[in-house]
Structure 1
Amino acid sequence: MVTQLQSPEKATIIYPDDNGEPMSDNTEQFRLIVWIKENLELLFASIADVFVAGNLLWYPVEGNNKIAQAPDVMVAFGRPKGYRGSYQQWNEENIVPQVVFEIWSRGNRLTPMLQKLRFYEQYGIEEYYLYDPATVDLTIWQRREDRLEAVEEVNGWVSPRMGVRFQVSETELQIFKPDGTPFVSFVELAQLREQAELRAEQERQRAEQERQRAEQERQRAEQERQRAEQERQRAQQAETMLEQERSRSQALEARLRDMGIDLNQL
């Protein structure tokens, strides 16, 4: 049996975790990246084999650390969650991230963005979303065989992979989960949680008030029952006493008759 030794060149290849480029050029780009990435993580939190990452270097070709891209957001279906310094496709059962997002910023140039499009097309991305917050413009590409083709109508578009729906208004991009609820920021999520907790506390207080009112009604009903029982007992006692008086009167009349005394003559 012949053992094939790994070449020294291949053994010493390093795949950097950082390409030296900033994650974002401005606060709005960063906000959108985090907004999309975190909402997708929440959406797929209960599914073990959906991996979502932001600004993670993806190396599609083993042995070549020059071929790489770091999508603003990427989703890999069929891969487990967990830490990665980079997405090395040959260590991921050769599964290509199926979905990527890029957020256009003023620092972006057309040529690098076109190169990204060609890269994603060449290495198998199924859905590519490019959003420009400055112009509120969303472009979507979907794979058709070996090409990425632009989707004509983006408003109302539902991702085949993610199940989320996209809507672009005059002022913003909106993304909706399969159940129709919108993507929210973590500030909005915290506010919604606080509102839900407040409503739950108000409901708890209302329920407690209803319980107390019901208890008061029960106590009043018990008091009325006790009063009614006391009245019944007093009436029964009065009837018993009357019956006893009637019995004593009859006994007295009987003794007087036995003694020859006619009560009618008294």
Structure 2
Amino acid sequence: MEDKRDFYEKYGAEEYYVIYPEFPSHAEGWRRENGTFVRIAEINGHVSARLGIRFVLAAGDLTVFGPDGRLFLTPAELVEERNAAQRTAEEQRLKAEQQHLRAEEEARRAEEQRQRADRLAARLRELGVDPNEG
């Protein structure tokens, strides 16, 4: 990780963070000052000048909040959120497909009824009865 940090320092990164998610989780951070990385002395409560994210350490748990104040999700939570969104999208797709099929069936029935009415009207005309009089 030191080689990686050195690389980022060499090529001008403004900040560098290392996150240790295992309990007790913690983070280390560096920010550029006068051309070099300087370690962030207190990461708890630190807000990244570049990213706007905030680090909170409490009881061995690291929580990271985005610039909007919302909690960053863990990879497992992101997967579950994505899976839930996919399930919802699939449910909505199936519902829309069912509605489409119902609409097609209703249109088919309406067309059958219209054709039946046309046949009956034609038969009445053959019998000398005007179906439009009444």
Give TM class, smaller chain.
0.5 to 0.7
Measure the CA separation in 2 of the matches of 1:178 and 1:192: 20
Measure the CA separation in 2 of the matches of 1:129 and 1:231: 91
Q: Which runs of 5+ in 2 are unaligned?
A: 130-134
Query: Residue 88 and residue 197 in structure 1: after superposition, are their counterparts in 2 closer, same or farther (change >3 A)?
Result: closer
Does the 8 Å CA contact 2:55/2:63 hold for their aligned counterparts? yes
Determine if the alignment matches structure 1 residue 57 to structure 2 residue 3: yes
Q: Letter of the aligned partner of 2:7 in structure 1?
A: Y
Determine if the alignment matches structure 1 residue 210 to structure 2 residue 126: no
Name the structure 1 match of 2:119: 230
| Local SS of the residue matching 1:174 | strand
Greater C-alpha radius of gyration: 1
Determine if the alignment matches structure 1 residue 128 to structure 2 residue 30: no
Q: Which runs of 5+ in 1 are unaligned?
A: 1-54, 59-69, 71-85, 107-112, 132-137, 141-156, 241-266
Q: Deviations over 1:76-132 (max 9, x none)?
A: xxxxxxxxxx51755x3xx2x3113356898xxxxxx9xx98x9657544893744x
Partner residue of 1:100 out of 16, 23, 31: 16
Q: Letter of the aligned partner of 1:57 in structure 2?
A: D
Tell me the number of residue pairs that the alignment of Structure 1 and Structure 2 aligns: 124
Q: Deviations over 1:220-257 (max 9, x none)?
A: 111111122122212222226xxxxxxxxxxxxxxxxx
Measure the CA separation in 2 of the matches of 1:223 and 1:199: 36
Query: Residue 126 and residue 160 in structure 1: after superposition, are their counterparts in 2 closer, same or farther (change >3 A)?
Result: farther
Query: After superposition, where does 1:81-230 map in structure 2 within 5 Å?
Result: 87=7, 89=9, 92=11, 95=12, 97-101=13-17, 123-125=35-37, 128=40, 130-131=42-43, 138-140=44-46, 157=47, 159-164=48-53, 166=54, 168=56, 172-178=61-67, 181-230=70-119
> TM-score, length-normalised on structure 1?
0.36
Query: Residue 182 and residue 102 in structure 1: after superposition, are their counterparts in 2 closer, same or farther (change >3 A)?
Result: same
Does the 8 Å CA contact 1:130/1:139 hold for their aligned counterparts? yes
